[in-house]
Chain A
Amino acid sequence: MTAVQDPRTPKAAVSHICLSRLDDPYIEGHRCGGCGEVFLEVHARCARCFGDDLTPARLGDTGRLYNFTIVHRSFPGVVTPFVSAIVDMDGGGVVRGTLKGAGVDPAALAFDMPVRLVFGDSGQKDEQGAPYIAYHFVPSQGPTS
Chain B
Amino acid sequence: MSQDVFIIGADMLKFGRFPDRTVPDLGAEAALLALRDAGLGIGDIDAFYCGNLVEAMEMVGQRILHHIGQTGIPVVNVANACATGATALREGLMAIKSGMHDVVLCVGVEKLPRGLMGGGAQPSPQLEGLFGSTSMPSVFAQVGQEYARNHGATFEQFAKVSVKNHHHSTMNPKAMYRIETPLEMVMQAEMISWPNTKLMCSVNVDGAAAAVLASEKTTRRLGLMGQAVRIRGSALASDPWSPRNQTMPDFNTVTRLAAARAYEMAGLGPDDIDLVELHDCFATAELVHYENLSLCGEGEAGRMIDEGEAALGGRIPVNVSGGLLSKGHPLSATGIANVYEVVTHLRGQAGARQVEGARIGLTHVVGAGHAGAAAGVHILEKA
Contacts and interface: CB of A to CB of B under 8 A. Distances in A.
Interface in B234-269: 241, 243-244, 246-248
B90 to A, nearest CB: 24
Interface in B163-206: 190-195
Interface stretch (A1-9, A18-26, A54-62, A94-102): A94-102
Interface stretch (B76-84, B121-129, B341-349): B121-129
B351 interface: no
Interface string A99-119: 100000010000100000000
What is the interface of chain B mostly: helix, strand, loop, or mixed? loop
B236 to A, nearest CB: 19
Contacts of A37: 241
Contacts of A72: 190-194
By size class, the interface of chain A is: 35 or more
Given A73-B192, A75-B135, A66 B128 contact: no
Given A72-B192, A74-B116, A75-B116, A124 B130 contact: yes
Contact of B131 (A14, A41, A111): A14
With most chain B CB atoms within 10 A of its CB, the pick from A67, A77, A80, A95 is A67
A36 to B, nearest CB: 12
A98 B131 contact: yes
B246 A78 contact: no
Contacts of A135: 131
A69 B128 contact: no
B133 interface: yes
A69 B138 contact: yes
Nearest to B131: A97
B227 interface: no
Contact of B244 (A66, A71, A99): A66
A70 B246 contact: no
Interface string B279-323: 000000000000000000000000000000000000000000000
A44 interface: no
Contacts of B190: 72-73
Nearest to A86: B248
A78 B129 CA distance: 6
Interface string B133-146: 11101100110011
Contacts of B357: none
Interface string B94-121: 0000000000000000000000100100
B129 A69 contact: no
Given A40-B247, A96-B248, A71 B135 contact: yes
Interface of B: 116, 119, 122, 124-135, 137-138, 141-142, 145-146, 149, 190-195, 241, 243-244, 246-248
Interface of A: 13-14, 37, 39-41, 47-48, 66-75, 77-80, 82-86, 88, 94-99, 106, 111, 122, 124, 126-127, 132, 134-136
27 contacts: A13-B125, A47-B246, A66-B149, A68-B142, A70-B193, A71-B129, A72-B190, A73-B137, A73-B193, A74-B128, A74-B129, A75-B135, A78-B126, A78-B129, A84-B138, A84-B142, A84-B193, A86-B244, A94-B244, A94-B247, A98-B130, A98-B132, A99-B132, A132-B125, A134-B125, A134-B131, A135-B131
